């Protein structure tokens, strides 16, 4: 039997689950333990099919809107991406028992938006149209209070309401570099614009992109474990391509990786978006071992020790 070629694998650290994703999944799991199935979840709790399907097996039922949920008294969980204010208002009107799994760092952006609005500032939101987080953030305020800015071209052309002070906020899962360029354009056009007190792009997004930037110039191919509807995973592919990597691909599961794409390469990088569990990274490594002897080195650019508490309704000890 012929010897397998050696493949150098640089494993990005940090990678995979962030504290917000971990908290959201635990909220669904704990609700199922305490209240039994079904537990309804509005929208994918996080953007990862493996996670969603794993929770479905435990008794979670995923819906897109509250009108799909019967009035049976079972818990309803709002996803980590956040929801417009109209959603909890509707849940309260129907007297639903709901649990909000919105990432605390997304909630921080919601509070910033309210802060600017209370000071009569018009808000530019840097983000991607149609993403649940953007829909949720824009839904914190009345229509017209926020203008979405998706890219540099829009930053150059967006109109400011006459006589209004201005501010900007951002989606938490954007490209750090792209966002910096958009912010520079807005600041150049509107020197008095108010900025967030602390950057809105979350620590996990920033750290995962930094790890990819460190690894990408040292490998021929970058494999990102993530989902095509995951903003932070898509940004990792883009960052790898821009940082000197010859090829960057995304896979959701190890079995999806076409090993012929790796043939001829001596080195690859492997990372995972913030909603992808480590188990899926292990799947990718197992897939690579089918054809290669792996020499794995982990490149760690930051240590993450952030932990977010569960909602009070779940953190309390249940009654005996």
What's the per-residue H, E or C state across the chain? CCCCCEEEEEEEECCCCCHHHHHHHHHHHHHHHHHCCCEEEECCCCCCHHHHHHHHHHCEEEECCHHHCCCCCCCEEECCCCCCCHHHHHHHHCCCCEEECCCHHHHHHHHHHHHHHHCCEEEEEECCCCCHHHHHHHCCCCCCCEEEECCHHHHHHCCCCCCCEEEEEECCCCCHHHHHHHHHHHHHHCCCCECCCCCCCCHHHHHHHHHHHHHHHHCCEEEEECCCCCHHHHHHHHHHHHCCCCEEEEECCHHHCCHHHCCCCCEEEEEECCCCCHHHHHHHHHHHHCCCEEEEEEEECCCCCCCCCCCHHHHCCCCC
In a domain, 196, yes or no: no
Tell me: do 214 and 248 sit in the same domain.
yes
- Residue 318 inside a domain? The answer is no
pTM: 0.94
Query: Residue 133 catalytic?
Result: yes
Of 103, 134, 154, which residue constitutes the final position of a domain?
103
Say whether both 111 and 79 belong to one domain.
Answer: no
Same domain, 168 and 212: no
Whose tokens are 């998706």? That residue is: 150
| 214/243 same-domain check | yes
In angstroms, the CA 8 to CA 5 distance is: 10
| Domain assignment of residue 229, given as a range | 6-17+203-300
Same domain assignment for residues 12 and 44: no
Question: Is 312 within a domain?
Answer: no
* Residue 195 located in a structural domain: no
Do residues 84 and 65 share a domain?
yes
Tell me if 49 is assigned to some domain: yes
Considering the domain architecture, whether residues 229 and 179 belong to the same structural domain is answered as no
| Predicted confidence (pLDDT) per residue in 91-100, tens digit | 999 999 999 9
How do residues 18-51 score in pLDDT, each as one tens digit? 999 999 999 999 999 999 999 999 999 999 999 9
Tell me the pLDDT tens digit for each residue of 164-209: 999 999 999 999 999 999 999 999 999 999 999 888 999 999 999 9
Examine the pLDDT at 65 and tell me if it is beyond 90: yes
95 neighbors 125 (Cβ within 8 angstroms): no
One of 30, 44, 112, 133 is an active-site residue; which one? 133
How many residues would you count in the chain?
A: 320
Pairing of strands 39-42, 60-63: parallel
CA distance 209 to 263: 26
Q: How far is CA 312 from the centre of its chain?
A: 24
- Confidence at 139, pLDDT banded by 50, 70, 90: very high
- Name the residue among 229, 268, 269, 219 with its Cα closest to residue 252: 229
Provide the token pair at 104: 């605390």
d(CA 288, CA 9): 10
Whether 258 shows a pLDDT value over 50: the answer reads yes
User: What is residue 319's predicted lDDT score, i.e. its pLDDT?
Assistant: 47
Looking at the structure, do residues 156 and 110 belong to the same domain, yes or no? Answer: yes
103, 118, 136 - which closes a domain = 103
pLDDT surpassing 70 at residue 318: no
Residues 212 and 286 in one domain: yes
- Per the structure block, which two tokens stand in for 256? 């999806």
Same domain for 95 and 122, yes or no, is no
**Is 221 found in the same domain as 240?**
yes
Q: Are residues 209 and 176 in the same domain?
A: no
Determine if residue 34 is left, alpha or beta; phi over 0 gives left, psi from -120 to 50 gives alpha, anything else beta. alpha
Number of domains in the chain: 3
Q: Which residues make beta-bridge pairs with 166? A: 122
Residue 69 lies in a domain: yes
Asked whether 129 and 213 are in contact (CB, 8 A), the reply is no
Point out the domain boundary residue: 189, 219, 240.
189
Apex CA 64: angle with CA 314 and CA 318, to 5°?
10
d(CA 312, CA 292) in angstroms, rounded, equals 48
What is the predicted pLDDT for the residue at 315? Answer: 77
| CATH code for position 146 | 3.40.1010.20
Asked whether residue 1 is domain-assigned, the answer is no
Q: Is 314 domain-assigned?
A: no
């Amino acid at each position: 039997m012929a010897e397998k070629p050696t493949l150098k694998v640089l494993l990005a650290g940090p990678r995979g689950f962030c504290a917000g994703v971990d908290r959201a999944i635990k909220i669904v799991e704990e609700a199922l333990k305490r209240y039994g199935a079904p537990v309804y979840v509005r929208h994918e709790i996080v953007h990862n099919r493996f996670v969603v399907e794993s929770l479905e097996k435990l008794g979670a039922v995923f819906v897109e809107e509250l009108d799909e949920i019967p009035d049976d008294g079972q818990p309803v969980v709002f996803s980590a991406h956040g929801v417009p204010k109209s959603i909890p208002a509707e849940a309260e009107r129907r007297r639903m028992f709901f649990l909000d799994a919105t990432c605390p760092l997304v909630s921080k952006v919601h509070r910033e938006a309210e802060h600017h609005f209370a000071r009569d500032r018009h808000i530019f939101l840097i983000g991607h149209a149609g993403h649940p987080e953007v829909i949720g953030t824009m839904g914190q305020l009345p229509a017209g209070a926020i203008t979405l800015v998706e890219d540099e071209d829009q930053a150059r052309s967006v109109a400011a309401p006459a006589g209004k002070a201005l501010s900007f906020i951002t989606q938490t899962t954007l490209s750090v570099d792209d966002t910096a360029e958009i912010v520079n354009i807005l600041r150049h056009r509107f020197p008095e614009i108010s900025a967030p007190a602390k950057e809105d792009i979350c620590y996990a997004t920033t750290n995962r992109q930094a790890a990819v930037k460190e690894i990408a110039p040292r490998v021929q191919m970058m494999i990102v474990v993530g989902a095509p509807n995951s903003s932070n995973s898509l940004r990792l592919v883009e960052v790898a391509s821009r940082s000197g990597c010859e090829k960057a691909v995304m896979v959701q599961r190890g079995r999806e990786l076409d090993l012929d794409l790796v043939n001829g390469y001596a080195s690859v990088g492997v990372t995972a978006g913030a909603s992808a569990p480590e188990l899926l990274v292990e799947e990718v490594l197992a897939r690579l071992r089918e054809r290669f002897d792996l020499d794995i080195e982990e490149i760690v650019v930051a240590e993450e020790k952030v932990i977010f508490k569960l909602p009070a309704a779940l953190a309390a000890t249940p009654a005996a």
